[in-house]
Amino acid sequence: MSRAWIGLGSNLEQPRRQLEQAFEALAGLAESELLARSSLYRSAPMGPADQPDYLNAVALLQTRLEPLALLDQLQAIENDQGRRRERRWGPRTLDLDLLLYDDLVMDHPRLRLPHPGMAERDFVLLPLLEIAGDLEIPGQGKASRLLAKCQSRTAEKIA
Ligand code: ROI
């Protein structure tokens, strides 16, 4: 069994409902068990500012799915929830990012691990730290230290 950390984000079509529904879908994934989920966090958009605030959260799965098989499942959940995305860094109904998979470091055309950019994003690190205070990101150090270095800090817990 492996441990996989998933980042959830939404800023369209009732973000809270999108995230709750995504947690349910993650809990129902084959060959996997949802071990933990963070609270929901509201954050200002990173990227173009002319879009709604985001809700973000993190989930921890225990899984027998290999990384790319898990990625397929995450993309299927995004599509099921009617994901639409018109422009790069624009608003989205549901984003599920595979953040970490055990201590794996990989660079595949479809999947880079750890997720690039996660170490600079407070809306990823804060929920991650809530459910794994001691977490170390392969090659980058402790999540708590990375959060302290984040340039922009807008994420706040809402539930
Ligand atoms: N900004 C925030 N605050 N939260 C996100 O999940 C998020 N996701 C994205 C971009 C557009 C980079 N900005 C974001 O993909």
Residues 6+ apart with CB under 8 A from 114: 99, 100, 105, 137, 138, 139, 140
The residues with which 97 forms a beta bridge, in sequence order, are 7
State whether the beta carbon of 18 lies less than 6 angstroms from ligand 1: no
Provide the mean pLDDT of the chain.
Answer: 95
Position in ligand 1 atom list of the atom nearest CA 51:
11
Give residue-wise pLDDT tens across range 50-93: 999 999 999 999 999 999 999 999 999 999 998 876 688 889 99
Instruction: Tell me the CA distances in angstroms from 28 to 67, 88, 91, 95, 105, one per residue in order.
Output: 17, 30, 26, 18, 27
Selected residue with higher pLDDT from 133 and 130: 130
pLDDT: which is higher, 159 or 41:
41
Q: For residue 32, what are the domain limits?
A: 2-157
Residues 2-30, mean pLDDT to the nearest whole number: 97
Ligand 1 centroid from CA 47, angstroms: 7
Query: What's the whole-model pTM score?
Result: 0.96
pLDDT in tens, 101-124: 999 999 999 999 999 999 999 999
Position 124 scores a pLDDT of 98
Residue 101 belongs to domain with CATH number: 3.30.70.560
How high is the pLDDT of residue 23? Answer: 98
Q: Find residue 108's DSSP bridge partners.
A: 111
Predicted pLDDT of residue 159: 73
Structure tokens at 119: 């170490």
Distance from Cα 89 to the centre of ligand 1, integer Å:
7
Measuring CA to CA, how many Å separate 67 from each of 79, 108, 134? 18, 11, 23
With the CA atoms of 138, 144, 150 and 153 taken in that order, what torsion angle do they form, in degrees rounded to the nearest 10? 140
If you average pLDDT over residues 138-157, what whole number do you get?
96
Mutate to test the pocket of ligand 1, among 54, 83, 121, 152 (most ligand atoms within 8 A of CB): 54
Cβ count near 148 (within 10 Å): 10
Q: What total of structural domains would you count in the chain?
A: 1
Q: What Rg value do the Cα atoms of the chain yield, rounded? A: 15
The pLDDT of 146-152, averaged and rounded, is 94
User: Strand runs (DSSP E) across 30-149, as ranges?
Assistant: 32-37, 41-43, 54-63, 95-101, 106-108, 111-113, 136-137, 141-142
* pLDDT, position 34: 98
Active-site positions? 83, 92, 95, 97
Distance from residue 149's CA to the centre of ligand 1 (Å):
18
